[in-house]
Chain A
Amino acid sequence: MTNLINQNLISSLINDHDKVLDIGCGSGELLYFLEKTKNIQGQGIEISHLGVKESVSKGLSVIQGDADEDLINFPDHTFDIVILSDTLQATHKPKEVLEQMLRISKKCIICIPNFGYWKYRLQILFNGVMPVAKTLSEPWYSTPNIHLCTIKDFINLCKSMNISITEAYRNTKDNIKVIKNPNSYLNNLLSTEGIFILTKD
């Protein structure tokens, strides 16, 4: 689920009437918001039955499916924007998902929970347990988040895949800041989330 701050940021990155795919759209809050404010042509993919049910009940177009399996069906450049918000860490093949996203859309918006956030580091360091937090709310044995990473990890992955990060933002407690220097140690330490705009070279 996308929080309000991210919702406003994402909205500011989208043009009126864009064709938008939200992968892992949950109950469809973001798509619903964008349809209202930006008149987008929205499509969602959601793995949970409840999420699909709530989304379709809002009048949204959402298919029950998952990022790992279903992106492959869309033709090249189908969408203006593809959004993957708090979902990459739950995919089986994050790299392939990124590749597919950049194939079906020119522009991708990705929000990831940052495992490099200092509080998570401290949970491991002092408590000796896997971090549990608001954005990572499940304990290790039941979490759907199987591919967690840090902002630094994600930036490194994009580099290795020749993906350009055209804009990057970080979410601290209640506000969003532009990441100017992607390799900054402090960005990685002080952000709960990273938000990236990607294009393929």
Chain B
Amino acid sequence: MNSTNKFYKTFGPIELQLEGGQLLKDTSIAYNTWGKLNAKKSNAILVCHALTGDQFVTGKNPITNRKGWWENIVGPNKILDTNKYFIICTNVLGGCMGTTGPSSVNLDTSNPYGMEFPIFTIKDMVNLQLKLIESLNIDKLFSIIGGSMGGMQVLEWAASYPDRLYSAIPIATSYRHSAQNIAFHEVGRQAIMNDPNWHNGNYYNNKNKPRHGLSVARMIAHITYLSEGAFQKKFGRDMQSKVLSWGFDADFQVESYLRYQGTSFVDRFDANSYLYITRAMDYFDLTNSYKGNLSQAFKKTKCKFLIISFTSDWLFPSSESQYIVKALNQTAADVSYIEIESDKGHDSFLLEVNDFYDILKGFISGAAKKLNI
């Protein structure tokens, strides 16, 4: 059931039972791998991507022709050394880079699902990843790592499948989506759903897609990924030209930058996927199945944790990570935690921050030593 096309590998189709009760037929998961699985199958690392990420974690992304989103971290002789580890990265359930999602064809109707696609959760994403890991005959992953929504997947793995991982590295994330985070997502979704080209999600066969709505959603989200300091440092009040337009053109560089972020995003992302995946993040609350008690979620978890937050991240502030650390301490788990100094906001986990790299490198090589990898 594992196949390969020009750009990525695929596992499926399989049936996937969703948390919401529906059975999703013909589900496939797109993924890429780097490096080799060793004989003991003990060197596999699953990298989980964030909301708008994909399986092209390193190397050239064939869709955007840009570098992979974690090019700095994953590769030969890098922190996630592809000479040493077997790196797996999947496109999440509901995504638009090959994994089954709202833009996939519903075999019952022979049309793209659109809004017929069932609502799914972070746990459903993890369950689909689990099926792939099983198909690769890997009993226990050496590590699962991810930032933001990727971190939510890491936490879900650690709570739901504690025997399946040796170490967990949730970065700039939370055990549940906060009210503020839900609020920002709602604004983004409203922008999409109010675009006249959205047509209740049935736009796949139309010439015009809900580009404006998706672009505005991206612009709003992008603001939340940076920090006030990062914006000020990068743009200040710098102008596009020396004279004001005395109108509503992009006079300021920050406006032009945001517009570019918005329009470049719509070429690579599906508006309905954006609706569904943001919803999955909103629905995420790891304490839900444990009577509101987060430490209960980790009771059976024996893995080593490295939790990282960033000082200027106001979307997933350090207090959220510290709450997770407290819950883990309550179960006497093996946990490391650090708040990294960075003025780059939530996006810090995607950017070159030296302390972040040092910590990650030390933790991974230390854990590898203990397992003789």
Which residues does A use to contact B, with CB under 8 Å?
19, 41, 43, 49, 52-53, 55-65, 70, 73-75, 78
CB–CB B369/A64 < 8 A: no
* Residues of chain A contacted by B332 (CB below 8 angstroms): 19, 74-75, 78
CB–CB B330/A64 < 8 A: no
Of listed B329, B355, B358, B370, residue having the most chain A CB within 10 A: B329
Q: How far is the CA of A70 from the CA of B329 in the complex (A)?
A: 9
Question: For residue A62, which residue of chain B has the nearest CB?
Answer: B336
Question: Is B196's beta carbon under 8 Å from chain A?
Answer: no
With contacts A59-B363, A74-B329 taken as known, whether A53 is within 8 angstroms of B355 at the C-beta atoms is yes
Interface string of B155-179 (1 = CB under 8 A from A): 0000000000000000000000000
A109 to chain B, nearest CB (A): 19
Q: How far is the CA of A57 from the CA of B362 in the complex (A)?
A: 4
Q: How far is the CA of A154 from the CA of B361 in the complex (A)?
A: 41
Indicate which residue in A57, A58, A61, A73 contacts B334 across the interface (CB closer than 8 Å): A61
Q: How far is the CA of A63 from the CA of B338 in the complex (A)?
A: 6
With contacts A58-B366, A70-B329, A73-B330 taken as known, whether A53 is within 8 angstroms of B336 at the C-beta atoms is no
Question: For residue A59, which residue of chain B has the nearest CB?
Answer: B366
Question: For residue A55, which residue of chain B has the nearest CB?
Answer: B336
Interface string of B319-341 (1 = CB under 8 A from A): 00000011001111011111101
Question: For residue B362, which residue of chain A has the nearest CB?
Answer: A57
Q: List 20 A-B contacts (CB under 8 A).
A: A52-B336, A52-B338, A53-B355, A53-B358, A56-B306, A56-B338, A56-B359, A56-B362, A57-B358, A58-B366, A59-B366, A59-B370, A60-B336, A61-B304, A63-B325, A63-B335, A64-B338, A70-B329, A73-B326, A73-B330
* Residues of chain A contacted by B362 (CB below 8 angstroms): 53, 56-59
Which residues does B use to contact A, with CB under 8 Å?
304, 306, 325-326, 329-332, 334-339, 341, 355, 358-359, 361-363, 365-367, 369-370
Question: For residue A19, which residue of chain B has the nearest CB?
Answer: B332
Q: How far is the CA of A61 from the CA of B169 in the complex (A)?
A: 13
Indicate which residue in A57, A58, A59, A64 contacts B337 across the interface (CB closer than 8 Å): A64
Given pairs A56-B359, A57-B358, A59-B370, 11 additional interface contacts (CB within 8 A): A52-B337, A53-B355, A56-B306, A57-B366, A59-B369, A61-B335, A61-B336, A62-B336, A64-B338, A70-B326, A75-B332
A193 to chain B, nearest CB (A): 29
Q: How far is the CA of A70 from the CA of B325 in the complex (A)?
A: 10
CB–CB B338/A53 < 8 A: yes
* Residues of chain B contacted by A73 (CB below 8 angstroms): 326, 329-330
A166 to chain B, nearest CB (A): 24
Question: For residue B329, which residue of chain A has the nearest CB?
Answer: A73
Q: How far is the CA of A89 from the CA of B326 in the complex (A)?
A: 24
With contacts A73-B329, A75-B330 taken as known, whether A59 is within 8 angstroms of B367 at the C-beta atoms is yes
Q: How far is the CA of A51 from the CA of B359 in the complex (A)?
A: 11
Q: How far is the CA of A18 from the CA of B285 in the complex (A)?
A: 35
Question: For residue A43, which residue of chain B has the nearest CB?
Answer: B334
* Residues of chain B contacted by A60 (CB below 8 angstroms): 336, 366
